[in-house]
Structure 1
Amino acid sequence: MKKSLTKILGILLIGIILAGATLFMYVSLTLPDISGYTYSPKLKTQILTSDKKLVGEIYDENRTLVSIDDMPKNLVHAVVAIEDRRFYKHHGFDLKGIFRAIAVNLKGDGIHEGASTITQQVVRRLFLSDERTYTRKIKEILLAVKFEQEFNKDEIVEIYLNDVFMGQGTYGVEEASKRFFGKHVKDLTLEECALLAGIPQAPTVYNPTTKSGYKQSKIRKEEVLDAMEDSRYITHEENEKAKAVKISIKKSDSQKNFNGRIRKGCGAYSQRVLSEAQNVLVNSFTNKNQMSKKKAQEKVEQMINQDGIKIYCSLNMSLQTAGVKSVDSFMSAYGLKDSADMAFVTVDGSNGKVLAYYGGSSSIDMANTPRQPGSTIKPLYVSKYLEQPDKTIYSTVQDGPINLYGYSPKNYGNKYYGRVTIQKAITNSLNTACLRLYDELGVKENGDLAGYDAVKEFGFSTLVDVKDDPVYNDNNYAFALGGLTYGFKPLELANAYSVFANDGEKYPYYFVDKITTKDGKLLYEREPSTAKRVRTSEANSAIVECMKGVVKYGTGTLAQTQYETFGKTGTTHDNKDFWFCGVTGNLATSIWVGTPSNKILYGISSSGVASFYNRYVNNTNEIDDFGKIANVDANNTSDKKVEYKNILVVKDNIDVTNREYFTRLEVETVSVPEEDVNKYSDRIVTKATVDASTGLLFNKEKCDKENKEIRYYISGKEPKQLCNKLHIF
């Protein structure tokens, strides 16, 4: 009987061994080949300024690789002590740990105890799934043995510490260190190392950023310290001292938007950078590498999401930070934080760089969304009017009620000024005067209003031509006062005003300077673009002079800074969109305030929006920084109070050459800044009552009333002698 039982048990044992061997053989045949394997995890793409300041990061897994040489020994020892204290003795798996795990699991109804070594955890994450089966466990053990034949212990623990999930969207100890402690991993203290080493077992439970997680992480930290002492990595005194230290956890200072993280206020900008980066890389691969567009798009998507490329962008961090800071203070000051949104864009007129870009607080990028521009459109066509050789800012136009084919706009407050200079028409944003200038530009041979075509020259993408829509288009008179089918994007309006910052020439705007691999190999570098002449230098200087008046003594006085600034305000008639476009030196900025849902706003005006420009400039880290960026010297020319003066002049369409005098119909009263009166010296007239038969001053004692006549003479040339001639009746 005994022999029979022994035989049976022997057969069972052989069967088990054979079954096990068969299973091991089968599993080994299904293992991935890891010979020559190189650790290359998904890396994050960085968006950087030209001076390498971080704007944003794009990733599937937020990880920054760091060498074990740049990790504290305490961190390596802490992880080994708590995760796998026999790590330096085994060859991939630990038999003692396995038997302990089997005993625990046999008592339960499933697999609960893992007993995985650090090496097993690494191969599981790199090559296997997380399913809890004995088959996967066998694969894990076999792969761990193979892995230790390919990599030494330091390399394995380095991979582990770079690859492990640490919670809060971070992978690896470098990102975890920056997230939780605000420092690089190489700078961690003993107690911080212990806390970090305890997280991988249960990242949610030991998340130190939550109240309950902080308590649990403290308990876990002490367990790690005790394990380090038991493994003789630290002394008892070091253990107790580390336990007594209270660890401060850093609050998050970035916002999540796309698959990654970005600096506060840079979400919309980062999206624009990514979009442009994708386009330029796809174009590069299709043109230079003869790659199909589909394959190029797939390659670029992988590069951005996994390969860790570096995109160097146009952003000036000083301006962007100042602008975002100004948004908060401005919206609070006007009580708009809960009822409105805003956007701003700054473009460098000397090259087209987008130096600052804020798309608003909602998910809609309002800096790239068309809105009705109000009066900010006026300088775009009035500058064209000033290209005419006989027109200057002192040329005059009638400001009064008007009706153009049924279109009858009014001035703000229904106030009219009669004959005014072009300068005053812009400075005071006079609707009817500007509409007359728009009308006087005439109609082109193609049937378009010349004023409409003049605005098209600035390159707006949202205008609707007659050929595109014969009914709802922008080729009409309402266009002159900002009544558009769709409107202007703040980005494109800033680019349009950059023309005025650059002597009438326009560079295309851009966001990306260059793109490199993670190792610095150049993938793309922007070539210098050629500027397009949009306005003559003379007309550009003239409209700039008009817009200086807007900031000095017109509707934009709240935009005054210590630098000479010019610009234009804009408000829609329904109080839904409020604008200020300002230029200082080579920097052109458009600012919009409104609501994404197009609601009416109260308690704000375009003059109020102009005050944002002042906040923006003054909030730059150092005021001198703004001057350097804008290429200007500090020179407060904007705070001088200027008064208008009414003067009588010959109308600008009348030739004064070889004329002795002028009639009442040939002169007009214009209102100009006192400082500009001398510019009219050759056209200012003096009124005189003369005897028509002699041309001398009328003498009521001797001259016939029938010869009494009112004439207008260029000042200084009027008759001064009283008529004493004997008249025969």
Structure 2
Amino acid sequence: MLKWLVRLLALAFFLGLSGMVALFVLYQQISADLPDVSTLKDVRLETPMRIYSQDGELISQYGEQRRTPVTIDRMPPQLIDAFLATEDARFYEHPGIDPVGIARAALVWLTTGEKRQGASTITQQVARNFFLSREKTIVRKVKEIVLALHIESQLSKDEILELYLNKIPLGHRAHGVGAAAQVYYGKELADLTLAEMAMIAGLPKAPSTLNPISNPRRAEERRAVVLGRMLDTGKISQAQYNEAIAAPVRTRYHGAEITLNAPYLAEMAHQFAVSMFGDEAYTRGLNIYTTVHADEQQAANQALVNGLLAYDLRHGYRGAEATLWRDSPPWSQEQIEQHLDEQPSYWPLQPAVVTQVGERSATVVIKDKGTARLDWDGLKWARAYIADNRQGKAPSRAGEILKAGEQVWVRPLGEGWMLGQLPDINGALVALEPTTGAVTALVGGFNFTLNKFNRVEQAERQMGSNIKPFIYSTALDQGFTLASLVNDAPINHWDVGSGNAWKPRNSPNVYDGPIRVREALARSKNVVSIRLLRDSGIANAMQRLNDFGFDTSRIPATESLALGSPSATPLQMATGYAAFANGGYKVTPFVVERIEDTQGVVLYRAAPEQRRIVSEENAFLISSALTSAIQGGVSGERRWNGTGWRAGRALGRSDIAGKTGTTNDSRDAWFSGFTPDRVATAWVGFDDFGRPLGRTAYHPNLGRDQVAGGEFGGSTALPIWADYMKVALSHFPERDRPVPAELVTATIDTGTGLLSNNGKGRTEYFVKGSEPRRYSQPDSHQQFGGTSVTDELF
């Protein structure tokens, strides 16, 4: 018996020694391939790209993984206890591996042949997550063990635990506990309850199937296991356990905590970052600070949406989005709410279902808001839409508008709600700092989710009368002054090539005869623009447009360009007007001010440049004339309004300059305007180029302040511009533009443009040497300015 015992001990010693030799040989073979664990001291966790406003509001986040790195000293102790109790109770005692666990896993493999995962300490999981694959092989397991021992020799326990808690995948693209708290609960770690901490701590075992969004029942069972282990290890009391185990599982997916809505601009910044950093932009944790200011962006959002909804309201109600029931029994509240949960929302519009219609009111169930009442003030606008230029009669009862069972859109109205609808019309608004080109607000359409087409930089639309300041700028450099007289009379030009007469008309079709250049621009006289183009030369005008940043290779060199036949984007238009606002310099618009890494190191900073394209005097004179487009003026005994008069009434400032723009058949409506501190362009139109904006009849239900008649730049786009500028200009006091040294003033007679002989008239600006020399006489002949004094008078 003793002899057999000796033999068994010898065999055991031999096998043990052989095992140690085998492990040593295996270690020698794989050690050369093992990574340097010291890199963990300076590890860069993959974090998404975040895009912020100039004042730190989060606009968007891009990246496959959501991660919010958190230092261990900012992690709640109970959260750490939950993970340790579940994943590695002896973490602070063992050297990086658990020999008992390893032996148990090896026994399972020897007896069953199955390579089950198990016995991995937190340190081993760090080794696997950072350096190894998840394949279940003996070689990978040995590498994991060796790496774990190396890691323990290089890093402290707290450093290892911090890496682990920031690296582990926890489901729904959340990596690390900081991201998981946001994804599942929309909270910071410090705000989590014990039950929520235990839920997150239970996820590493199977994050895709044990998370509370995908499988609430299994998640609750796993949470109970975590809480039980915390109770067993003395980390929580029985009372804490009882409270947490009874807590309901309440969670939903929480996206990135967007605090400022600017998706069109965010996409521009996103593309800029990718062009600089490639795919690394999604993992380096870049913090991109854009040029927009939160309050201005919010004002731009509100202004464009309100303007588009206002257009849609005055053109009539197109009917319900869907009919859920007619003669059949009405749906239950539960059915209605379930249906609404599946419907999208497009701020400020919410889907709703009509449940009851009264004489002058209706009851609706609104998504996420419950039951509400639509009073007559929220319904009376909804006369029927017939066509873009025709509406039905004003309604007198709610039953003419709605029926029970209809799915509709509603939007806030004061403390209540009003009927709404998704607009067919669309638009854009963009604003810049004139001296730098920094974009301060940008909205590329009614709703980014509904349509991602960014009309600010992608919609090339006919300029209409927004082009005229550039034509007039050319004329001033070709001998005209703001006091020059040009004949405002119909043009009838025979085109030999086509065999047709070209008969451009003013809008409205009214002519005043000889008119000063200032007044002609302020009142947007079409035929005057054509005459100025003829006298200035088309080639000169084309060069001027090119200098202002418009692509003249795509513009036909014909007289129609004086009426705005060329196309441009709203961003190009705002950039062009910026040169008038800043004294004659071309700027390049930009949306990214700087890019920082996770440590706050600046990787990129914008360096705005300016290039002079017109003289300071020319820019001042055009700005002055565009101020008259807002303020109006007097010619002789006649008082006139400029086309942008609504801007002056809305803002009540004297430093505003601007120009309306409307194309043929009102397919595009523009307003571009500026002060020395902000320049902005608003555009409204259908994405279908061929669809006119139409017109509206007076609505007897809506009162005296309504817009009725044709849709023009001054009535359709200008209010959007003005609503934005009310907020943007609140930061800047009113200030006069400095008068360039090469300008002089003279008092002129407004009827002739000559010097006033009685001290009456208006003060006009002139480049030195271009001021009139003659005085106006009662019987003096009116003279046309510029290089040509002959023109059609019919």
Please report the TM-score for the alignment, with normalisation by the length of structure 1.
0.72
State the partner residue of 1:610. Answer: 718
Measured after TM superposition, the shift of residue 413 of structure 1 is 6.4
d(CA) in 1 for partners of 2:107, 2:712: 76
State the partner residue of 1:366. Answer: 455
Of residues 345, 364, 367, the one that matches 2:430 is: 345
d(CA) in 2 for partners of 1:138, 1:599: 70
Amino acid at match of 2:629: M
Task: Give runs of aligned pairs for residues 459-538 of structure 1, distance below 5 A.
Answer: 459-460=549-550, 462-464=551-553, 473-484=555-566, 487-527=567-607, 529-530=609-610, 532=612, 534-535=614-615, 536=617, 537-538=619-620
Name the CA shift for 1:132/1:459 in 2 (closer, same or farther; >3 Å): same
What are the superposed Cα offsets for residues 393-440 of structure 1, whole Å, 9 maximum, x if unpaired? 673432313327467253366723241444454344332232222222
Q: Does 1:269 align with 2:268?
A: no
Residue 579 of structure 1 aligns to a residue whose secondary structure is: strand
Measured after TM superposition, the shift of residue 123 of structure 1 is 0.9
What are the superposed Cα offsets for residues 68-87 of structure 1, whole Å, 9 maximum, x if unpaired? 01111111111111222232
Of residues 5, 26, 31, the one that matches 2:29 is: 26
Name the CA shift for 1:6/1:169 in 2 (closer, same or farther; >3 Å): closer
Amino acid at match of 2:575: N
Measured after TM superposition, the shift of residue 40 of structure 1 is 2.4
State the partner residue of 2:622. Answer: 540
d(CA) in 1 for partners of 2:609, 2:564: 30
Name the CA shift for 1:105/1:554 in 2 (closer, same or farther; >3 Å): farther
Residue 629 of structure 2 aligns to a residue whose secondary structure is: helix
d(CA) in 2 for partners of 1:608, 1:199: 54
State the partner residue of 1:561. Answer: 650
d(CA) in 2 for partners of 1:304, 1:63: 14
State the partner residue of 1:430. Answer: 525
Amino acid at match of 2:120: S
Name the CA shift for 1:435/1:107 in 2 (closer, same or farther; >3 Å): farther
State the partner residue of 1:627. Answer: 729
State the partner residue of 2:291. Answer: 314
d(CA) in 1 for partners of 2:92, 2:269: 47
Of residues 411, 416, 421, the one that matches 2:505 is: 411
State the partner residue of 1:243. Answer: 245
Q: Could you tell me whether the CA contact under 8 Å between 1:426 and 1:550 is conserved in 2?
A: no
Name the CA shift for 1:322/1:352 in 2 (closer, same or farther; >3 Å): same
Q: Could you tell me whether the CA contact under 8 Å between 1:512 and 1:526 is conserved in 2?
A: yes
Q: Does 1:357 align with 2:442?
A: yes
Q: Does 1:324 align with 2:301?
A: yes
Q: Could you tell me whether the CA contact under 8 Å between 2:659 and 2:671 is conserved in 1?
A: yes
Residue 651 of structure 2 aligns to a residue whose secondary structure is: coil
State the partner residue of 1:73. Answer: 77
State the partner residue of 1:171. Answer: 175
Length, aligned pairs only: 609
Amino acid at match of 1:119: T
State the partner residue of 2:417. Answer: none
What are the superposed Cα offsets for residues 484-512 of structure 1, whole Å, 9 maximum, x if unpaired? 2xx22222211111223234444433334
Task: Give runs of aligned pairs for residues 180-219 of structure 1, distance below 5 A.
Answer: 180-208=184-212, 210=213, 212-219=214-221
Amino acid at match of 1:566: A
Residue 734 of structure 2 aligns to a residue whose secondary structure is: coil
Amino acid at match of 1:540: I
Residue 63 of structure 1 aligns to a residue whose secondary structure is: coil
Kindly, what percent of the aligned residue pairs are identical?
29
State the partner residue of 1:227. Answer: 229
Moved more, 148-157 or 33-42: 33-42
d(CA) in 2 for partners of 1:55, 1:141: 43
Please give the root-mean-square deviation of Cα atoms over the aligned residues, in Å: 4.1
Instruction: Structure 1 unaligned segments of length 5 or more: list them.
Output: 255-260, 280-296, 465-471, 621-625, 635-647, 659-675, 687-710, 715-729
Residue 650 of structure 2 aligns to a residue whose secondary structure is: coil
d(CA) in 2 for partners of 1:518, 1:113: 34
Amino acid at match of 1:97: G
What are the superposed Cα offsets for residues 610-653 of structure 1, whole Å, 9 maximum, x if unpaired? 222233345x4xxxxx334444389xxxxxxxxxxxxx98655x
d(CA) in 1 for partners of 2:245, 2:652: 57
Task: Give runs of aligned pairs for residues 538-687 of structure 1, distance below 5 A.
Answer: 538-549=620-631, 553-557=641-645, 559=647, 560-564=649-653, 565-573=656-664, 575-594=666-685, 598=689, 600-602=691-693, 605-606=712-713, 607-617=715-725, 620=727, 626-632=728-734, 651-652=752-753
Residue 343 of structure 1 aligns to a residue whose secondary structure is: strand
Name the CA shift for 1:237/1:650 in 2 (closer, same or farther; >3 Å): closer
Q: Could you tell me whether the CA contact under 8 Å between 1:550 and 1:567 is conserved in 2?
A: no
d(CA) in 2 for partners of 1:312, 1:481: 40
Measured after TM superposition, the shift of residue 477 of structure 1 is 1.7
d(CA) in 1 for partners of 2:489, 2:203: 74
Moved more, 171-180 or 57-66: 57-66
Task: Give runs of aligned pairs for residues 98-137 of structure 1, distance below 5 A.
Answer: 98-101=102-105, 110-137=114-141
d(CA) in 2 for partners of 1:219, 1:198: 9
State the partner residue of 1:97. Answer: 101
Measured after TM superposition, the shift of residue 36 of structure 1 is 5.8
What are the superposed Cα offsets for residues 329-364 of structure 1, whole Å, 9 maximum, x if unpaired? 333333384534432210111332211123333343
d(CA) in 2 for partners of 1:656, 1:124: 88
